[in-house]
């Protein structure tokens, strides 16, 4: 591998970095099932799994169905305390043998490696994504980056095989500066991709909030110096360990804002269920706040208020709808209302991706649409405008509507139709806004479930899946013939 250009902060960045305070955090993480098996945990934490559950998981160790090989087990003390009184959060954090019943799925969901110009960077849309950490404080079982977290080997477009690596500041800055120079020279559009200047970058992983303030500050200032105008931080730390958002962190942000006042920060947070941020009584009910709304977990509320105070920072929530966790209209209605009331926008809800083992987690696409649609009944327009998106390798695709009435005279439409629209498309978004319509299949958990009932497809959403289905039919009929 060629040596990456090293990064040396300039004088403005250096002055900012020298003023960052660091703090230490005691997340009290439990990592791996071993400590549950050997009982070396505090008594109350051992109770997360029953004896029978542990025996079933133990029996899979070292086999191809080992749940920890698919996705390592990890939880913080803070999240454990929330989980104790929540079946939904137990489904999010506890490993189950069913996760490895069916290991079908894409080794690299979304085909990110086809859009990776530099290690650890995905430049697919107008926005670029960086892997800056390969772990989180705790692990969602349904994680769609399981290949990164579990450090699985991925086949690259050039045929080499290696785990996904992390982004390096020097390599990323060099790429951005060069890309934007090429755009400027060509008069505002990149000569090959027709993209505009790269203005927005998402720090992702893993969770960037596991990094130290100094490490985060290095990313923020390096991206600002490279010409990035909006920086996103994708994090679930408000749910897993809100104490991470302490005074030293906000002090770092304030100093960054002093040094780079033109840069906007977009916190992309991840709450799946209101049990992750609301105080819940033993009988399972939430508590009305005399000042309005419901009572929040104090540490989480404090962190959200600190973000909301700063007018250069926005907060958006996005979350997948996962079976047994939040395929519950009432929970989602409460969540959307409470988030918006506290200055957090409801951005996207997602259908589960085709990760390895996705059959254990995914809600049928039509059911996810129904759940979100039901949840938004009773919400005002500003509370309930989040869309349902499913990530096709061509781009983020909205599930616009599912109809219940037959579409008269249209073959495939006898039981109603499902309508998709492409929200985002790679490079200069040539397919944005295009639509596909298919006959309903209430069982479908991925695009392949509609391959035999496509009615209209102006964006090629189903082309590849129809071809795969045709090959499977041919192979099956050849097999039948050879048996006869």
Partner 1 sequence: MTFVVVEGCILCKHTDCVSECPVDCFYEGPNFLVIHPDECIDCGLCVPVCPEKAIYQDTKVPPEQSAFIDLNRELAQAWVPITKKKASLPDASKWSGVPAKLKYLERKT
CA 230 to chain centre: 19
Report d(CA 326, CA 321) in Å as an integer.
6
**Smallest gap, in angstroms, from Cβ of residue 25 to partner 1?**
7
Q: In the complex with partner 1, which residue's Cβ is closer, 40 or 281?
A: 40
Instruction: Give the residue, chosen from 13, 27, 327, 462, that forms a contact with partner 1 under the rule CB under 8 A.
Output: 27
Q: Which stretch binds partner 1 (CB under 8 A): 18-26, 175-183, 432-440, 455-463?
A: 18-26
For residue 9, give the nearest of 178, 327, 259 by alpha carbon. Answer: 259
* Residues of this chain, 118-147, that bind partner 1 according to CB under 8 A: 133-135, 137
- Report if residue 298 touches partner 1, rule: CB under 8 A: no
Number of residues this chain uses to bind partner 1 (CB under 8 A): 25
Q: Which is nearer to partner 1, 29 or 469 (CB)?
A: 29
Distance in angstroms (rounded) separating the CA atoms of residues 24 and 239: 19
* 210 is a site residue for partner 1 (CB under 8 A): yes
270 near partner 1 (CB under 8 A): no
Site string for partner 1, 390-409 (x = CB under 8 A): --------------------
**Of the two residues 35 and 69, which places its CB atom closer to partner 1 in the complex?**
35
**Does the protein bind partner 1 through residue 28 (CB under 8 A)?**
yes
Among 212, 248, 415, 448, binds partner 1 (CB under 8 A): 212
In the complex with partner 1, the residue whose CB is nearer, 61 or 199, is 61
Lookup result for tokens 């490696």: 113
Phi–psi pair at 424, nearest 5 degrees: -140, 145
Between 30 and 253, CB nearer to partner 1: 30
Q: Does 35 bind partner 1 (CB under 8 A)?
A: yes
Q: Which two tokens stand for residue 229?
A: 């105008």
Considering beta carbons, is residue 186 or 214 the nearer one to partner 1?
A: 214
**Mode of pairing for the β-strands spanning 264-269 and 127-131:** unpaired
Q: Which long-range contacts (CB under 8 A, 24 or more apart) does 335-339 make?
A: 335/271, 335/273, 335/274, 336/375, 336/376, 336/379, 336/383, 336/384, 336/386, 337/293, 337/379, 337/383, 338/274, 338/277, 338/278, 338/293, 338/294, 338/296, 339/271
Q: Which is nearer to partner 1, 105 or 206 (CB)?
A: 206
Question: Is 24 among the residues that bind partner 1 (CB under 8 A)?
Answer: yes
Look-up: residue for tokens 């959307």? 336
Least CB distance to partner 1 at residue 103 (A): 23
Q: Using the rule CB under 8 A, which residue among 84, 96, 151, 152 binds partner 1?
A: 151
Based on the shown chain and the rule CB under 8 A, indicate whether residue 215 belongs to the binding site for partner 1.
yes
Q: How far is CA 206 from CA 35, 164, 167, 213, 373, in A?
A: 23, 12, 12, 16, 30
Exposure pattern of 321-359 as b/e (b: 16+ CB <10 Å)?
A: bbbbbbbbbebbbbbbbbbbebebbbbbbbbbbbbbbbb
Stretch that binds partner 1, among 140-148, 177-185, 203-211, 320-328 (CB under 8 A): 203-211
Q: Does 1 bind partner 1 (CB under 8 A)?
A: no
The residue (of 213 and 389) whose beta carbon lies closer to partner 1 is 213
Alpha-carbon gap, residue 480 to 482, rounded angstroms: 6
d(CA 455, CA 451): 10
Tell me the two tokens of residue 391: 């990530």
**Nearer residue to partner 1 within complex by CB, 31 or 285:** 31
Rounded Cα distance between 19 and 2, Å, is 33
Q: Please state, in angstroms and rounded to a whole number, the distance separating the CA atoms of residues 201 and 199.
A: 7
CB of 257 to partner 1, least distance (A): 23
Q: How far is the CB of 449 from partner 1 (least distance, A)?
A: 36
Residues 332-391 that bind partner 1 (CB under 8 A): none
Query: Is 230 near partner 1 (CB under 8 A)?
Result: no
- Does position 42 bind partner 1 by CB under 8 A? no
Angle at 307 between CA 17 and CA 74, to 5 degrees: 80
Q: Which of 21, 34, 287, 414 binds partner 1 (CB under 8 A)?
A: 34
Q: How far is the CB of 7 from partner 1 (least distance, A)?
A: 13
Rank residues 225 and 237 by Cβ distance to partner 1 and give the closer one. 237
- Only segment of 30-38, 269-277, 317-325, 451-459 that touches partner 1 (CB under 8 A): 30-38
Q: Residue 469 contacts by C-beta under 8 Å, 6 or more apart in sequence?
A: 448, 451, 452
Residue 432 CA to residue 296 CA, distance in Å, equals 39
One character per residue 53-82, x = contact with partner 1 (rule: CB under 8 A): ---------------------x--------
**Whole-angstrom distance, CA of residue 123 vs CA of residue 195:** 10
Helix (H, G, I), strand (E, B) or coil at 99: helix
3-state secondary structure of 129: strand
Sites for partner 1 among residues 153-182 (CB under 8 A): 166
With binding defined as CB under 8 A, does residue 26 bind partner 1? yes
Instruction: Give residues in contact with partner 1 (CB under 8 A).
Output: 22, 24-32, 34-35, 74, 133-135, 137, 151, 166, 206, 210-212, 214-215
């Amino acid at each position: 591998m060629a040596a990456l250009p090293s990064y040396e902060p300039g004088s403005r960045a250096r002055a900012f970095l020298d003023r960052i305070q660091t703090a230490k955090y005691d997340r009290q993480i439990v990592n791996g099932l071993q400590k549950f098996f050997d009982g070396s945990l505090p008594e109350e934490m051992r109770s997360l799994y029953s004896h029978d559950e542990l025996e079933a998981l133990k029996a899979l160790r070292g086999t191809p169905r080992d749940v920890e090989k698919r996705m390592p087990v990890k939880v913080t003390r803070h999240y454990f305390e929330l989980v104790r009184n929540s079946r939904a959060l137990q489904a999010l954090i506890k490993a189950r043998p069913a996760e490895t019943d069916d290991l079908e799925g894409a080794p690299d969901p979304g085909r990110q490696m086809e859009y990776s110009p530099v290690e650890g960077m995905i430049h697919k849309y107008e926005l670029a994504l960086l892997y800056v950490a390969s772990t989180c404080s705790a692990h969602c079982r349904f994680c769609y980056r399981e290949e990164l977290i579990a450090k699985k080997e991925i086949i690259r477009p050039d045929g080499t095989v290696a785990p996904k690596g992390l982004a390096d500041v020097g390599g990323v800055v060099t790429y951005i500066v060069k890309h934007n120079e090429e755009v400027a020279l060509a008069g505002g559009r990149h000569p090959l991709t027709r993209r505009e200047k790269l203005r927005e970058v998402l720090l992702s992983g893993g969770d960037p909030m596991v990094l130290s303030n100094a490490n985060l500050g290095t990313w923020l200032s390096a991206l600002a110096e490279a010409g990035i105008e909006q920086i996103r931080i994708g994090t679930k730390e408000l749910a897993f360990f809100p104490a991470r958002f302490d005074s030293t962190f906000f002090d770092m942000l304030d100093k960054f804002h002093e040094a780079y006042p033109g840069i906007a920060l977009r916190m992309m947070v991840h709450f799946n269920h209101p049990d992750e941020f609301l105080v819940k009584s033993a009988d399972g009910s939430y508590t009305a706040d005399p000042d309005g709304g419901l009572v929040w977990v104090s540490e989480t509320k404090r962190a959200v208020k600190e973000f909301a105070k700063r007018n250069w920072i926005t907060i958006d929530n996005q979350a997948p709808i996962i079976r047994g966790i939040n395929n519950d209209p009432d929970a989602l209605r409460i969540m959307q209302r409470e988030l918006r009331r506290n200055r957090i926008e409801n951005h996207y809800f997602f259908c589960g991706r085709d990760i390895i083992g996705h059959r254990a987690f995914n809600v049928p696409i039509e059911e996810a649409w129904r759940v979100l649609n039901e949840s938004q009944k009773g919400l005002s327009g500003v509370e309930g405008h989040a869309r349902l998106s499913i990530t096709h390798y061509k781009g983020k695709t909205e599930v616009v509507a599912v109809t219940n009435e037959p579409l008269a005279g249209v073959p495939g439409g006898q039981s109603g139709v499902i309508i998709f629209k492409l929200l985002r498309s790679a490079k200069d978004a040539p397919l944005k806004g295009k639509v596909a319509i298919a006959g309903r299949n209430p069982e479908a958990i991925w695009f392949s479930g509609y391959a035999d009932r496509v009615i209209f497809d102006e964006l090629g959403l189903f082309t590849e899946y129809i071809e795969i289905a045709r090959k499977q039919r041919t192979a099956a009929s050849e097999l039948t013939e050879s048996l006869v």
